[in-house]
Every structure is written in structure tokens, then in C-alpha cells.
Amino acid sequence: MTITTDIQLHHGDCVAGLAALEPSSVDLVVTSPPYNLGIGYRSYDDTGDRAAYLEWCLEWAGLVRDVLVENGSFFLNVGAAPSNPLFPHQVVLALTADGRFHLQNTFHWIKSITVATRSGESVSAGHFKPINSKRFVNDCHEYVFHLTRTGKVPLDRRAAGVPYADKSNIARWQHTGGDDLRCRGNNWFIPYDTIKSRDADRPHPATFPPALVAQCIRLHGLATATRLLDPFLGIGSSAVAAVEMGIQSVTGFEIDADYLDVARARIRELESRPV
């Protein structure tokens, strides 16, 4: 595979890394910070005081705002624990206070779902993570908050779209322009790839799939001209999506050397694929 993306993956704290970037040098940010929910990361204590955690979020997110172009998009993936459901909302309220960011869209990353067909059949899809609880139901989704500097950033809604189920809508609605493609909406069913070994195939305890990043790249609408940033790179899903889509550049920061090694190995694996 021929890689055309400029790849800059850095070992270190993202606060220092972001401060060293040029202002207004990034088009798109897709990231998922630690959740402050006691997740077992290798090099980060995820059990800190909530108020201190939110202050830290304001620090790195302020630097994200500085490096983001005026019409840039910041897609923030945040999950919750069933016993702590307010956490994602506390984060987004902090980041949108005093006009720091505007919440332009809220997406739901659906990991597992059961739907009833018109014939009455139930179809289950995705990866269902069971919990042992008499109080809570299984949590099958996470939030992806779309934050912008102005709240008025245009998107290429149909670049991330889906074909019409009822083809008569193509002619019925003028906005289709005759194309069989509609806006996907704010529910994104993106399951994890099936793995054989958690330690070998997904050594990071809280990853998102490259397909989620690809959806954000399409929606933002700059195609191959996109300059992508992930301040919390983990094992490199953002970098993988960037390379697979051939976008202009990807910059990532990761505090854990072992996670960064996995990210770089994933890129090398892409390089070895036949064209």
C-alpha cells in the first residue's frame, strides 16, 4: 500500500504537544480522552477528582481550540459507566461554557442493537458487552459530541450518507439532486471488529474503531485535504483511518510508549499491504 498521508505520531503529554503546534493548523480533531471512570490504562491514573479532571479537560481543549481552524470540527468521543451516567454531559457542559465551543451535533455511537423487521423478526447486530447488575441495563452506546468554534460549520452530510430504503424518495425530494443518498442522521452503528485475543488484538482498554474516525472525516467534508489531529492517540485508530483514506496529514500524541508502539506497528502493517 502506498501511503500518501504525512504521519506525525509523538510520544508525550498532549498538553505540551498541543502548545507546540501552529495556531489554526488543524481542520479536524477526532479523539477520546480518558473517561475518569477508573479504566485500567498503563500510564495514566483514571481515578482522579472529578473537578480536577474537568479543569484538565478545559486546559487541553483550550489548546485544541487554538490549533483548530475557524471552520474546523472537533469530534469528542465520551462514554459513561451505568453508575455514572452524567459524566459525558458534565464534560460537554464544561467545554461549552462561556462560548469556548459550540455543541453543533450530538451523535450516538451504537455498538450493539436489536431491531424488529417489518415481518416481525428480531435481528441483533454488533458486540454486546454484558454486565452483572440488578439495577442497570447494558450500555450499548457512547456519545460523539461535534464541537465547533462557531456552531455554524458546514458539513458534507451525504458524504457520510446511506442509500434510500424507499427509492421513490429520490424523485420526491428536490434536495436529493437525483442521487440515491440521504443523510445518515445522528445514530451511527459501528461495531468493533471481531478479535481472537484481547491482549494481542486490542491491548488498549478503551479504543474506538477506525470506521468511526472515517465517518467523521467524510462528514467534515474536506476529503483528502483534511489535516487530522488526535491528542489521545492510544493504539492509533485515528492514524489508521487517516492512512486508509489518504488524507493530507495526521498528528497524534500518546503518553504511553507501548500504546504508541502498537499504533506505529499498525501503520507498518498498512504499508505492507499490496496496492
CATH number of the domain enclosing 238: 3.40.50.150
Total structural domains in the chain?
1
Tens-binned pLDDT, residue by residue, of the chain (275 aa): 899 999 999 999 999 999 999 999 999 999 999 877 554 444 446 567 889 899 999 999 999 999 999 999 999 999 988 888 999 999 999 999 989 999 999 999 999 999 998 898 999 998 877 888 899 998 899 999 999 999 999 999 999 889 888 888 878 877 778 888 888 999 999 998 764 544 554 544 457 899 999 999 999 999 999 999 999 999 999 999 999 999 999 999 999 999 999 999 999 999 888 86
Query: Residue 199 is inside which H or E element, if any?
Result: helix 198-201
Please name which of 271, 255, 268, 259 lies closest in space to residue 18, comparing C-alpha atoms. 255
Cα dihedral 115, 121, 126, 131 sign: positive
In a domain, 181, yes or no: no
pLDDT (0 to 100) of residue 127: 80
**Which residues, in sequence order, are bridge partners of residue 106?**
145
6: nearest Cα among 223, 260, 229 = 229
Residue 236 forms part of a structural domain:
yes
pTM passes above 0.85: yes
With residue 71 as reference, give the H or E element that holds it: strand 68-78
pLDDT confidence of residue 118? 86
**Three-state DSSP state, 150:** coil
- Res 205: pLDDT: 46
Q: What is the rounded CA–CA span in Å between residue 35 and residue 88?
A: 8
The reply to whether 224 falls in a domain is: yes
In whole angstroms, what is the distance from residue 103 CA to residue 93 CA?
9
- 96 in a structural domain: yes
Residue 16 structural domain: 6-111+143-155+187-271
Residue 265's alpha-carbon distances to 163, 200, 235, 239, 241, in angstroms, are 35, 12, 9, 11, 14
User: What is the per-residue pLDDT for 197?
Assistant: 44
Strand ranges for 84-121 from DSSP E: 102-110, 112-116
Q: Provide the 3-class DSSP secondary structure of residue 170.
A: helix
Q: 68-78 and 26-31: which strand pairing?
A: parallel
Pairwise CA distance, residues 223 & 160, whole Å: 11
CA distance 117 to 25: 46
Is 118 contained in some domain?
no
- Domain for residue 74, yes or no? yes
Specify if 122 maps to a domain: no
Asked if the structure places residue 230 within a domain, the reply is: yes
